[in-house]
Amino acid sequence: MKMVKSLLLGSAAGLVAVAGANAADLPVKAKAVEYVKVCSAYGAGYYYVPGTDTCLKIGGYARADYYVNGVGTFNPAISSTTAAAFNNPGVGSAVYPFTSDRTPNYTTRVRGVFDFDARTATDYGVLRSYVRGGIEWNSYSGANNAAGSNLYYERAFIQFAGFTFGYTQSFFDTGIDYMMTTPYAGSNQWNTVIAYTAQFGNGFSASLALEDAANRVTGVQGTAVGALATVPSAIGGLSYTNYQGGTQAPDIVGNLRVDQAWGSAQLSGALHQVVAITPVNSAAYPTGVSYLGQSTDTTWGWAIGGSVELKLPVISPGDSLYIQANYADGALSYLGLSGTVQGRATSLGRTDINTFGTFTSYSGAFYPLADAVWNGSTLSYDTESGWALQGQYRHYWMPNLRSAVYAGYVDVSVPQNTVGAADVKMWQVGLNTIWSPVKNLDLG
């Protein structure tokens, strides 16, 4: 007992000595630890930023795509385009599939995206800032298609008191996509906007937006101008086939929308200004050749669209059906035919994607997909019109296994007497099946 008692006393003395030595190094009292608190006001995943009343949610995803016998822009591979000659009776029509011997047999894409959602309660409602973007790697493995990485961004906007400022989904669109790909039929455009949304209660709302027209331009075309498309040699002998003028006004977009337990429905409308450079005759040049750029013509194109999404739990929990129909005149981007979703066909049956705003045959025929085209008979610009229809259905075989099917059709009509132009018809179908063995992982 004496030995144990001595050991205990020695240990106590040692502890006191250490504590006394450290006390001299602590002139002030340590601050209490401030723990991050959960913010439940806006759903799961939000936390209060320490020292503020702002709630922040950080998320993102990593995605890897592997395509076999697909299209380089990762659209549904079973597609076709028909160009029927409008002013050349007897020529007939030609069908151009989306694949050929020059199409890569496989393509790959990897994408890493982060999103930040910050919300603060104010006297005027919630102040929200949202950013979503990252980096993307593409490896097309095809002739003249260089692999590489690029910045990828989807959204960056501010919402306050019903207003939306920044880059987000166009208010013409719904953004519904069961296929996880980019369909041609139907508008699906991100854009820079200034918008106001009024909430009427019971799921009803109305929005009015001014949107950047540059992202909606499909071009102004016209090979019928002939010599008028050549700049005089005094200016370098340059040649022009695109008569698109600079944007002068934003697109005016509006929608009426309802979101309820059964699903949602939206009616949309848009006005899009078409700005065309007019060929002007000039006798000041010895050749008598005209040049472009002395004057511009403007007109307003328009588009309307309707969509409905029906939730079908009676078939299976999570099942839903989506249908969208659009019509456009002088605003073909609202059919899904934007500057990044154009095709050009060859007499050999090749169709690929370009950013020139035209549907062009390598054999020399010109099939414009544009907001307006030059009419050689009236010596003026005429707008192109068309319609688009798409349907998507998503079915859950079980909670972690689902399939989706997509079908779309686009029909574009060029003005009569437009030399070298053609009506264009395009269809697509697609099917996918996705298995989610664990939460936050999709395979398919």
Across the 444 residues of the chain, what is the mean pLDDT of every consecutive 10-residue run?
Answer: 38 37 55 78 94 95 79 45 38 41 70 96 96 87 62 92 96 85 76 97 98 86 46 38 76 98 98 79 44 66 97 97 96 72 30 30 42 74 90 96 90 72 73 92 88
pLDDT at 353: 32
Give the tokens for residue 435. 């298995």
Q: Are 255 and 267 in contact (CB under 8 A)?
A: yes
| Residue-wise DSSP of 94-146 | EEEES--TTS-SEEEEEEEEEEEEEEEEETTEEEEEEEEEEEEEEE--BTTB-
Helix or strand (DSSP H, E) at 8: helix 2-23
pLDDT at 351: 33
Please name which of 179, 131, 126, 172 lies closest in space to residue 151, comparing C-alpha atoms: 131
Please name which of 353, 360, 417 lies closest in space to residue 140, comparing C-alpha atoms: 353
pLDDT at 183: 63
DSSP SS3 for 334: helix
Domain map (residue ranges) of the chain:
72-101+163-435
pLDDT at 242: 57
pLDDT at 17: 36
Q: Degrees (nearest 5) of the Cα angle 72, 77, 79?
A: 115
**Separation between Cα atoms, residue 241 and residue 153, nearest integer Å:** 32
Helix or strand (DSSP H, E) at 18: helix 2-23
Indicate the residue type of 416: Q
pLDDT at 76: 43
Indicate the residue type of 146: A
